[in-house]
Amino acid sequence: MSALPPPPYYAVIFTSQRTAVDSGYADTADRMVALAAAQPGYLGADSARDADGLGITVSYWRSEEDIAAWRRHAEHRVARDTGRSDWYQHYTLRVARVERAYAWQRADGLQDPAALTSNEERA
């Protein structure tokens, strides 16, 4: 799970429904994860996909300029084109400014409800 830098920063929320076409998908997805992580301003990403093919990937970025630069990356453009021709039935993409963030972590073997609550409430 990606780390929590201090806000504000930006989230790119990519929600997609896959087609049945698998050819090249996993390799390209892995490559895009690695390539994104090497870009300026990249802060982390999380991804999950249901058995029925609905997936959500959220990547986090320092600024809108960093998102725009990643969008212009040549290899990323090619991957997006193949996504539209082969892998996706439909998708939505939202750019959002993260204003607040919280984390909670289970205390190993020690569940103090008061501690958990204060942990969740911190900013």
Site membership for a second copy, residue 101 (CB under 8 A): yes
Q: d(Cα 57, Cα 77) in Å, to the nearest integer? A: 17
Peptide bond into 5 cis (omega under 30): no
Closer residue to a second copy, CB minimum distance, 75 or 84:
84
Considering only residues 6, 106, 109, 122, which one is a binding residue for a second copy as defined by CB under 8 A? 106
Integer-rounded Cα radius of gyration of the chain: 17
Q: d(Cα 72, Cα 54) in Å, to the nearest integer? A: 26
Segment 2-61, which members bind a second copy (CB under 8 A)?
Answer: 2, 4, 7, 11, 13, 15, 17, 19, 46-51, 54-56, 58
Largest CA distance in the chain: 52
Summarize as ranges the residues that interact with a second copy (CB under 8 A). Answer: 1-2, 4, 7, 11, 13, 15, 17, 19, 46-51, 54-56, 58, 81, 84-85, 88-106, 111, 113, 116, 120
